[in-house]
Amino acid sequence: MPNVRFTVSFLRALAASAVFFATGALHAQALPPGVRLGMTADELHAALPAVERVQRPQRLTGGLLGSWRATPVEIAGLMFEPTFFFAASELRRVEYVATAQAAPDSGASAFGQLVQWGRGVFGNELASRDPGSAYAAWTSGDTDVYVQQVSDPRRASVRLVYKARQLRDGSEL
């Protein structure tokens, strides 16, 4: 019986360590405190006083405009630059992008860590992989989250995106 007690104790300690690690990882990849999709630019500025307007905002389909940027944050060993995209005066998308040309694995390790984090937080992912890129996506309530890695040596990058879920009627496709 002593071996069973040791094994159970060991497994409990291992589980507690995993929870501790997952909580730290979650904090690192979660939206910044006070930030939520659907908020206004004034609410974003109140939640993150250090955000700055982007000189040349990036435009995406659906009227999205990447008009605010925050201080880069380290996630999974890479420095990610967060950009906040608005449409119709609401925050609809948050992108964390890191260049990975200097990483020996073109960001594969960071991508793998983010996928593991996503599995722990959101469950199993929808994934695809082809030469030069990998993608994993989850849905949580009214939010879509995805991680993407591009491993082209000239433009290697890793991207973590939170975006407002847009449901479409089949007749609109």
Residue 11 in domain: no
Check residue 170 and give its pLDDT: 65
Query: What is the chain written as a DSSP string?
Result: -HHHHHHHHHHHHHHHHHHHHHHHHHHHHSPPTT--TT--HHHHHHH-TT-EEEEEEEEEGGGEEEEEE---EEETTEEEEEEEEEETTEEEEEEEEEE-TTSTTTTHHHHHHHHHHHHHHH-SPEEEEETTEEEEEEEETTEEEEEEEE--TTS-EEEEEEEE-----GGG-
Question: Where in the sequence is the domain holding 154, given as residue range(s)?
Answer: 31-172
pTM: 0.79
Number of domains comprising the chain: 1
Residue 23 in domain: no
Residues of the chain with pLDDT under 70: 1-29, 167-173
